[in-house]
A and B are shown apart, each in its own frame.
Chain A
Amino acid sequence: MTNRIAELRKARKISQAELADGVDVTRQTIISLESGRYNASLLLAHKIARYFGLTIEEVFLFEEEET
């Protein structure tokens, strides 16, 4: 699973710390999500998508070969 968190965050000129504050996680979690080392839970994915005003599918890109 890939995501557009870094892209969306940079487009909106939001820092990693601000995003972390907004979705109530640590900055390290945001770093891990952006680098693809960690996959968010459904709850966190929902929080992040809501933070950007988008749907989960618009932020998190599920690849077919992962099934």
Chain B
Amino acid sequence: MKSRRGKTKWEDLLSIILLMLIGLMHSTQYLPQAARGLLRTASLPLMGVILVVSWYQSEKYNHLPPEERRDLDRQWEDERGVMVQRQAVHFCWQVEIWLLFGLYILFTFGMGRQDLATVVFELMILRSVFFYAVRWWFNRKY
């Protein structure tokens, strides 16, 4: 069975690319000057931290005893591990909804940016529709 670690390396790389894209996005005119400057300053050290953490995790994994490595690989497939992941996904889903809602309030009442608020609102609707569609699909499948 292919190791989960091998997959997470690609996922780590993907998250770095994603962060770089977000960094580029922040350099556009969509955000106020102050926020843009702050995000531009913060994104580079953040990317550095993620790179160092990814490298450290990879090195730590490579130097683990075989039993511990096997145990670590297995955690992504064993049923308790899967249950923990599902709980984490559910928690993240809830947090995301509240974050988006917070952003909507901020853009509407705090910054007076109805255009951005509309994008956030559309994103919230899209996520909900997508969630129900996926749930319907899985219900149908099983």
Binding site for B on A (CB under 8 A): 17, 20-21, 24-29, 32, 38, 40-41, 43-44
Residues of B participating in the A interface, judged by any CB pair closer than 8 Å: 67, 70-71, 74-75, 77-81, 83
Per CB-CB distance, the 6 closest pairs between chain A and chain B, nearest first, are A25-B78, A29-B80, A26-B75, A26-B74, A26-B78, A26-B71
- Closest Cβ of chain B to A22, distance in Å, is 12
The smallest C-beta distance from B90 to any residue of chain A, in angstroms, reads: 17
B contact patch SS: helix
**CB nearest to A25 among chain B residues:** B78
Q: How far is the CA of A4 from the CA of B77 in the complex (A)?
A: 24
Please tell me if the beta carbons of A25 and B74 are within 8 angstroms of each other in the complex: yes
- The answer, among B67, B70, B81, for a CB contact under 8 Å with A29, is B81
- CA A36 to CA B86, docked complex, whole Å: 20
CB neighbours (8 Å) of A32 from chain B are: 80
**A-chain residues with CB within 8 Å of residue B80 when the two chains form the complex:** 25-26, 28-29, 32, 38
User: Nearest Cβ distance between residue A45 and chain B, in whole angstroms?
Assistant: 11
Which residues from B are CB-within-8-Å of A24? 74, 77-78
| B67, B70, B79, most chain A CB atoms within 10 A | B79
Q: Which residue of the partner chain A has the closest CB to B79?
A: A41
Sample of 12 A–B contacts (CB below 8 Å): A20-B71, A24-B78, A25-B74, A25-B78, A25-B79, A26-B74, A26-B78, A26-B80, A29-B81, A38-B83, A41-B79, A43-B79
Using Cβ atoms and an 8 Å threshold, which residues of chain B touch A29?
78-81
